[in-house]
Amino acid sequence: FISAIITACQKEQKKQIDFPPTDLSKENLIPKPLKIIATNKTFGLDRHTAIYTNQKDEGFFEIGQFLADKIKAKIDLDVPVNEAGTNPIERIIYINRSDSLELNAPESYELYINPDSVIINSNTAEGAFRGIQTLRQIIPEQSNDTLAEQRIWPIPSGKIVDNPTFGFRGAMLDVARHFFSVDDVKKYIDLLAYYKINILHLHLTDDQGWRIEIKSWPKLTEIGGSTEVGGEAGGFYTQEDYKEIVAYASKHHMTIIPEVDMPGHTNAASVSYPFLNGNGKTPKLYEGTRVGFSTFDTRKDTVYAFIDDVVREISEITPGPYFHIGGDESHVTKKNDYIHFVEKVEKIVQKHGKKMIGWDEIASAEVDSSSISQYWSSGDNAQKAVKRGMKIILSPAKRAYLDMQYDTLSKHGLHWAAYIPVDSAYVWTPEEYEGIPMENILGVEAPLWSETISNMGELEYLAFPRVIGYSELSWTSKENRNWENYKLRLANQAPYLDRMDVKYYASPLIDWK
Ligand code: TNX
């Protein structure tokens, strides 16, 4: 009886908290969700909150734990997952599997925020994971300490119904020109996942370095991995390192796409095993930034046996469906040799159970409609890909290259395609790009080439804030995108970026908070 009275008193107290009216639709969410309906009340996150997840589903439990970890990191609050914890529980965050959503697509989710419960419904763990990112973004950095005895973080109430425009929302990192450590890649994954990016493409090989261990061809990393642009020491991922990256990505519901660039961009491989070389010269380690001088010998069976081993070993430790063969800028490969090469390598990739992706030049070969073309520079190549019925990843250099300078004052980066300030990175329409039919567009990817960057701070300077805009371009419908509104939401990413110690470029176009 007494405990019932105490509970009633606590309920009474709860009711007495006098939250000011809220507006969920004004929250600084990126990417902006499809539908937001504000109900102007408040869920008070505090030490009487617990997370409960779909018990039978491992994937959902992990997401609950992920959310608890992120809440702890952001506001230092311990929220128990699927257990009572030490404080009496008054409010619950539920993460549920549900097959009766308004929108039933692989990543769709619904988020209901009520005064005493938050409910995240999705049909898939992936969708629930995306929903968690939305919730993370609306948990205030600061508690309101005047409302109640305990610290309380007020979350505006309402309903969000969300689903991405594109299922493929990517970033690429060139670890070949300059090597980046496993920890660097993990930090990049953390940041990308917060903005619902679900693809990380790793450019693992180039003229200046081979960065992935191939057990049957050890000199690739022993010799080919020993240098990088500028003459520093280079480096490479052991297969264990790569698996660690893949596992970390998969915990963030992100797919890793490995790229082995060929037949051009192969100097590091040819230095390691000179029989591969097809440009008639003796290959030497290369630390400069020129492109287009190297090629495999496309008419030797032993070259294809080598490629078979490489594709097999990498595919075995890559759970995602894709293998990227590069195929760009093979300026010293004869046209017929190039075509012959791409067609043969496509068969190898398919034999190892993967879908081939290549830079836009691959569409000049008779490739299969199941292969994917990555548009970087040529509208003609994109039209060829459309004729072949291929899907296209949009990475037009003049819009989506993260290594392009912001302006003439930029500390790092190149400008051969364009200067890309934060607004021009955002203000374009992938849904209607150069007449490519929407049904051919797989999604958007923002590549970061690393000729001019060699550490995490420099990476962050070029990637942030622009990559946040690409997340919105590939998730949010075009009706919901608007530069003036985006600018305000972007300005409010500063506390998160600062907390994550991201050395972003503080573009003067944005009124940073
Ligand atoms: C072109 S884009 C390249 C890369 C360079 C990049 C520098 C593409 C498919 N090839 O090899 O790193 O420009 O911006």
Q: Ligand 1: which atom is nearest the Cα of residue 377?
A: 2
Taking phi over 0 as left and psi of -120 to 50 as alpha, with beta for the rest, 408 belongs to alpha
Phi, psi dihedrals of residue 39, rounded to the nearest 5°: -120, 10
Q: Is the CB of 101 inside a 6 Å radius of any atom of ligand 1? A: no
Q: How far is the CA of 329 from the centre of ligand 1 (A)?
A: 8
- CA distance readout (Å), 397 to 32, 237, 417, 446, 508: 25, 28, 6, 9, 23
449 C-alpha vs ligand 1 centroid, how far in Å? 7
Closest atom of ligand 1 to 417 CA is: 14
> How confident is the model over 270-304, as pLDDT tens digits?
999 999 999 999 999 999 999 999 999 999 999 99
| Residues 6 or more apart whose Cβ sits within 8 Å of residue 234 | 179, 208, 209, 211, 225, 226, 227, 228
Nearest CA owner, ligand 1 atom 11 = 291
pTM here is: 0.96
Q: What is the DSSP string of 380-443?
A: HHHHHHHHTT-EEEE--HHHH-TTB-SSTT-SS-B-SS----HHHHHSS-GGGSTT--GGGEEE
From the candidates 110, 259, 329, 451, which is the catalytic residue?
329
Residue with CA nearest ligand 1 atom 12: 449
Q: Does the pLDDT value for residue 504 go beyond 90?
A: yes
**Is the CB of 89 within 6 Å of ligand 1?**
no
What pLDDT, on the 0 to 100 scale, is given for residue 58?
A: 79
The pLDDT tens digits for 119-139 are: 999 999 999 999 999 999 999
Q: What is the ipTM of this complex?
A: 0.94
| Cβ 449 under 6 angstroms from ligand 1 | yes
Place of tokens 């078979």: 308
- Classify residue 28 by burial, with Cβ atoms within 10 Å: 0-12, 13-18, 19+: middle
425-447 pLDDT tens trace:
999 999 999 999 999 999 999 99
For the segment 203-227, what is each residue's pLDDT rounded down to a tens digit?
999 999 999 999 999 999 999 999 9
Could you tell me the domains of the chain? 17-162 (3.30.379.10), 168-481 (3.20.20.80)
Name residue, tokens 């991201």: 502
Catalytic residue status for 329: yes
